[in-house]
Amino acid sequence: MKYTFDAELWRWEARRELWTFLSVPPDESEEITEVAGELRGGFQSVRVDVTIGSSHWRTSIFAAGTEDGTYWLPIKKKVREDEGLVLGDTVTATLELVDF
Protein backbone atom coordinates (compact mmCIF):
# COMPACT_ATOMS: atom_id res chain seq x y z
CA MET A 1 0.00 0.00 0.00
CA LYS A 2 1.23 3.45 -0.90
CA TYR A 3 0.27 6.82 0.60
CA THR A 4 1.21 10.33 -0.55
CA PHE A 5 0.48 13.31 1.67
CA ASP A 6 1.59 16.85 2.55
CA ALA A 7 2.55 17.66 6.14
CA GLU A 8 4.49 20.27 8.09
CA LEU A 9 7.98 19.39 9.32
CA TRP A 10 8.01 19.73 13.12
CA ARG A 11 10.44 19.30 16.00
CA TRP A 12 9.92 16.79 18.80
CA GLU A 13 10.38 18.92 21.91
CA ALA A 14 11.01 15.94 24.21
CA ARG A 15 14.64 15.73 23.06
CA ARG A 16 17.46 18.25 23.25
CA GLU A 17 18.79 17.05 19.92
CA LEU A 18 16.94 18.14 16.79
CA TRP A 19 14.57 15.25 16.01
CA THR A 20 12.13 16.13 13.25
CA PHE A 21 8.96 14.43 12.07
CA LEU A 22 6.03 14.61 9.72
CA SER A 23 2.63 13.59 11.05
CA VAL A 24 0.85 11.09 8.83
CA PRO A 25 -2.73 12.41 8.35
CA PRO A 26 -5.51 10.78 10.42
CA ASP A 27 -7.30 9.00 7.54
CA GLU A 28 -4.07 7.43 6.28
CA SER A 29 -2.99 6.56 9.85
CA GLU A 30 -6.30 4.81 10.51
CA GLU A 31 -5.99 2.75 7.34
CA ILE A 32 -2.37 1.84 8.12
CA THR A 33 -3.42 0.65 11.59
CA GLU A 34 -6.14 -1.50 10.06
CA VAL A 35 -3.76 -3.01 7.49
CA ALA A 36 -0.88 -3.57 9.93
CA GLY A 37 -3.06 -4.91 12.74
CA GLU A 38 -1.12 -7.19 15.06
CA LEU A 39 1.96 -7.09 12.81
CA ARG A 40 3.08 -3.74 14.23
CA GLY A 41 6.39 -3.72 16.09
CA GLY A 42 7.59 -1.96 19.23
CA PHE A 43 6.12 1.49 19.86
CA GLN A 44 3.35 0.42 17.43
CA SER A 45 5.83 0.81 14.57
CA VAL A 46 5.30 -0.06 10.92
CA ARG A 47 8.17 -0.41 8.44
CA VAL A 48 7.92 1.84 5.40
CA ASP A 49 9.85 2.92 2.34
CA VAL A 50 9.81 6.71 2.08
CA THR A 51 10.30 9.15 -0.79
CA ILE A 52 10.69 12.88 -0.33
CA GLY A 53 11.91 14.72 -3.42
CA SER A 54 14.86 12.71 -4.76
CA SER A 55 15.56 11.05 -1.37
CA HIS A 56 14.50 7.43 -0.76
CA TRP A 57 15.04 5.40 2.43
CA ARG A 58 13.57 2.71 4.68
CA THR A 59 12.47 3.54 8.21
CA SER A 60 9.54 3.00 10.56
CA ILE A 61 6.59 5.18 11.43
CA PHE A 62 5.48 5.25 15.07
CA ALA A 63 2.06 5.61 16.71
CA ALA A 64 3.13 5.20 20.34
CA GLY A 65 2.67 8.41 22.26
CA THR A 66 0.22 9.99 19.84
CA GLU A 67 -3.12 10.69 21.48
CA ASP A 68 -4.94 10.99 18.17
CA GLY A 69 -3.62 7.70 16.76
CA THR A 70 -1.63 9.32 13.97
CA TYR A 71 1.78 8.02 13.00
CA TRP A 72 4.99 10.02 13.13
CA LEU A 73 7.48 9.77 10.27
CA PRO A 74 11.05 10.62 11.36
CA ILE A 75 12.98 12.75 8.88
CA LYS A 76 16.74 12.22 8.98
CA LYS A 77 19.18 15.13 9.03
CA LYS A 78 20.71 13.99 5.72
CA VAL A 79 17.30 14.09 4.04
CA ARG A 80 16.61 17.58 5.44
CA GLU A 81 19.98 18.76 4.16
CA ASP A 82 19.71 17.06 0.75
CA GLU A 83 16.17 18.37 0.19
CA GLY A 84 16.75 21.82 1.73
CA LEU A 85 14.06 21.33 4.38
CA VAL A 86 13.68 23.45 7.51
CA LEU A 87 11.24 23.34 10.40
CA GLY A 88 7.81 24.54 9.37
CA ASP A 89 8.17 23.56 5.70
CA THR A 90 5.27 21.72 4.11
CA VAL A 91 6.68 18.50 2.71
CA THR A 92 5.21 16.01 0.23
CA ALA A 93 6.03 12.48 1.34
CA THR A 94 5.22 9.08 -0.13
CA LEU A 95 5.13 6.04 2.16
CA GLU A 96 4.95 2.46 1.01
CA LEU A 97 4.27 -0.21 3.62
CA VAL A 98 6.94 -2.91 3.80
CA ASP A 99 6.06 -6.59 4.39
CA PHE A 100 2.33 -6.14 3.68
Instruction: Kindly report the number of other CB atoms within 10 A of residue 24's CB atom.
Output: 26
> What is this structure's pTM?
0.89
* The amino acid at 85: L
* Number of domains forming the structure of the chain: 1
pLDDT value, residue 64? 67
Please, are residues 89 and 25 in contact by the beta-carbon 8 Å criterion? no
Residue 11 belongs to domain with CATH number = 2.40.30.100
The tens place of each residue's pLDDT in the chain, 100 residues long, gives 999 999 999 998 776 778 999 999 999 999 999 998 877 776 788 999 999 999 999 999 998 667 788 999 999 999 999 999 999 999 999 999 998 7
For the chain, where are the E strands, in sequence order?
A: 2-8, 10-11, 20-23, 46-52, 55-61, 72-75, 90-97
Domain that holds residue 16: 2-97
